Amino acid sequence: MLSIDRSIVDAIVAHARRDHPDEACGVVAGPAGSDTPTRHIAMDNAARSMTFYEFDSMEQLRVWREMDDRDEEPVVIYHSHTATEAYPSRTDISFAGEPGAHYLLVSTREPDSEEIRSFRIVDGVVTEEPVRIVDAGVDPHAVQSYMFGQSPATVDYECSGR
Amino acid sequence: MAIEVRIPTILRSYTGGAKVVEGTGDTLGDLLTDLDSRHGGLKGRLVTDAGALHRFVNVYVNDEDVRFLGALDAKLNDGDSVTILPAVAGGAFGFAAAAAISQHRAATAAVAGGVRGTSSVAAR
């Protein structure tokens, strides 16, 4: 299960929309061992492609060193698919080199709803996991869970009586 | 001469969990051979059967991507720091196409080698 603050998800979706139709990519860092994503870092897609993404190697070195200095690790590694579903491609699986990370995929193929899904990818094996979006600033009990590609726009928000 | 090497999480199974190890070598290739003598299998995760640096990893000498320093022929000096990171890449594209792009990049980088400062742009 990935628990992630709504403001971070919103920032990721905004990044994916901004770069559409090219794929967008980035990281959410968090304190080492916490499994809690806290710091969103939008990365350049050095490939600038609609079907491929790649971190710029020098930007990656800088960001990874910064995480190291702050005792953080890449809790979430995200990218968008802009014409296909939010499911890891064979390319994604081949490259997945952070066994501790949640691989978050956002599909922007629909113009007014996003598909957000999260996966563990370890030794070539893909395991989907639920995404729990937390409204930290609003109400600690106001929580939505999404699984298996439901779009946030289609889920009733039961705690929203305000 | 001693060179400090930073090992990413995914490869620490080869170093007994160590985040930093030390090795020696005049070039990156020599260093990896030296490391492999104590951390068996590590080199095989970084270098392909054809003897090229694997596309799934980034290797840096101090602050430079070794793809622009001659890859495995990159020269090393005492006190250098080598950092290994998993390359972060992927996308909706098929694997064969991604591999082709990667090989093209490596070839371009080899040609651009020595054109420091502009090489990271030119190679893409």
Q: Which pLDDT tens digit goes with each residue over A73-86?
A: 999 999 999 999 99
**pLDDT score recorded for residue A26:** 97
Contact A105, A148 (CB under 8 A): no
Q: Among A43, A55, A99, whose Cβ lies nearest the Cβ of B9? A: A99
Host H or E run for residue A52: none
**pLDDT score recorded for residue B94:** 56
Quickly count: other Cβ atoms within 10 Å of residue B106's Cβ: 16
Cα dihedral: A27, A29, A35, A37 (round 10) = -80
**pLDDT score recorded for residue A142:** 52
Domain B3-88 has CATH 3.10.20.30: yes
Q: What CATH number does residue A127 fall under? A: 3.40.140.10
Residues pairing with B61 in the sheet: B64, B82
Which residues span the domain enclosing A131? 2-154
Residue A79 inside a domain? The answer is yes
**pLDDT score recorded for residue B12:** 93
The Cα A122–Cα A101 span in angstroms is 9
Contact B81, B107 (CB under 8 A): no
The Cα B1–Cα B27 span in angstroms is 12
Quickly count: other Cβ atoms within 10 Å of residue A140's Cβ: 9
**pLDDT score recorded for residue A108:** 95
**pLDDT score recorded for residue B102:** 61
Spans in chain A with pLDDT lower than 70: 137-162
Selected for mutation to probe chain B from A23, A51, A57 (highest B CB count within 10 Å) is: A57
ipTM exceeds 0.85, yes or no? no
Q: Among A55, A58, A83, whose Cβ lies nearest the Cβ of B88? A: A55
| A-B contacts at Cβ under 8 angstroms | 108
**Structure letter (DSSP) for residue A32:** T
Residue A162 inside a domain? The answer is no
Residues pairing with A120 in the sheet: A127
- Alpha-carbon distances of A103 from A47, A129, A156, rounded to whole Å: 19, 10, 25
**pLDDT score recorded for residue A155:** 44
Domain segments of chain B as ranges = 3-88
Judging contacts by C-beta atoms under 8 Å, the chain B residues touching residue A60 are: 58, 85, 87-88
Quickly count: other Cβ atoms within 10 Å of residue A31's Cβ: 15
Residue A54 inside a domain? The answer is yes
Q: Among A58, A60, A82, whose Cβ lies nearest the Cβ of B88? A: A60
Locate the chain A residue with the closest alpha carbon to B6: A65
**pLDDT score recorded for residue A158:** 45
CB contact under 8 A, A98 and B88: yes
Token digits of residue B121: 């742009």
Half-sphere exposure of A34 (CA within 13 A, CB side): 17
Residue A102 inside a domain? The answer is yes
Q: Which pLDDT tens digit goes with each residue over A33-62?
A: 999 999 999 999 999 999 999 999 999 999
**pLDDT score recorded for residue B124:** 39
In chain A, DSSP finds a helix count (H) and a strand count (E) of 3, 10
Residue A160 inside a domain? The answer is no
Residue A93 inside a domain? The answer is yes
User: How many domains, chain A?
Assistant: 1
Residue A161 inside a domain? The answer is no
Spans in chain B with pLDDT lower than 70: 1, 94-124
Residue A159 inside a domain? The answer is no
